[in-house]
Amino acid sequence: MVRMDQSERSLVAEQEAELRQILDFTPQLIAVYGPNRERLYVNRIGLDYLGLSLQEWRQTPERGAFVHPDDRARDLDCFDRARSTGSAYELELRLRGGDGTHRWFLARSNPVRDDQGQIMRWYVACTDIDDRKTAEERLQQENIALREEVDRASMFEEIVGASPALTGLLARACKVAGSDSTVLISGETGTGKELVARAIHRRSRRASRPFVALNCAAIPRDLIASELFGHEKGAFTGAVQRRLGRFELANGGTIFLDEVGELSSDTQVALLRVLQEREFERVGGESRSGSMFAASPQRIVI
């Protein structure tokens, strides 16, 4: 046991007082915990923020009592893992002040070991980052609003006009874009039905997938079924190999069938099966041979 004389004890006391004064003026919340997170010391800045005396802080029984409820489990989990590994850690969390409000802090915890490598203390420094977090959240909200505005603008960038009728049409297009329903767009030739169909596709969850358009009136009647549903090799004269139809090409995206009223009755029956049953068959194919396909992955606009 090492004995100290009065002068040595006085020097140690002075150094300890000086260290405490430095910690009290440090613009951070500084706390010292025991190896199992027993409360030992917190500096003056921390006590002023918490609105407590050192004794009151030490006697607070609950672990994480000053941590926001939404951050408490994460805080305790981080400490438990750090205690088991003996490693330093940091995390962002909200601490309750004496006025009952919470602010964001970046907490850095470092262990101090004895000569045998056992953890004796945990030193925790909490830096106030509330202004930064508030700015980040505001920027994130502004970015979301900006992306939505850009989406709305790019959705209708090919459609020019501000009449009440057009405004109502675009509002309905926005509403239906979020669903997976089949959409019927009616209008005279040249009124921009495909532009509206493209706008619906851009606004939908399928925007990154294909948009396939087909003018049914421009395809010969004998070839329209093959164009829509594809065909198997040898299905008819000239079918020298298997061919994918427009429905398969639009897998996961949107298929737009313009002038659908020009289809023959037989083809309209096959199309009705797609709308109702959500399945189709390649020309010349058989269900048992694997030529039946689900049509549900694509949205149908007619």
The answer to whether residues 190 and 146 touch, using CB atoms and an 8 Å cutoff, is: no
Instruction: Out of 56-65, 97-106, 268-277, give the one with best mean pLDDT.
Output: 97-106
Q: Which residue has the tokens 């850690």?
A: 89
Q: Give the ranges where the chain is alpha helix by DSSP (H).
A: 6-25, 44-50, 54-59, 69-85, 130-155, 164-177, 193-203, 224-229, 246-249, 265-277
Q: What is the largest CA-CA distance in the chain?
A: 113
pLDDT in the model for residue 124: 92
| Residue 249 confidence class, pLDDT cut points 50, 70, 90 | confident
Which residue carries 């900006």 as its tokens? Answer: 146
At 294 the pLDDT is 41
pLDDT at 240: 63
Q: Cα separation of 8 and 248, whole Å? A: 88
- For residue 11, pLDDT beyond 90: no
Q: Flag whether pLDDT at 295 surpasses 70.
A: no
User: What is the per-residue pLDDT for 125?
Assistant: 92
Closest CA to 298 of 268, 278, 273, 282: 278
Q: Is the pLDDT of residue 3 over 70?
A: no
pLDDT tens for residues 27-49? 789 899 998 888 998 999 999 99
Contact 113, 121 (CB under 8 A): no
Half-sphere exposure for 98 (CA within 13 Å, toward CB): 11
Helix (H, G, I), strand (E, B) or coil at 95: strand
Q: Provide the 8-state DSSP code for 255.
A: E
pTM, full prediction: 0.47
Reply yes or no on whether the pLDDT at 6 is more than 70.
no
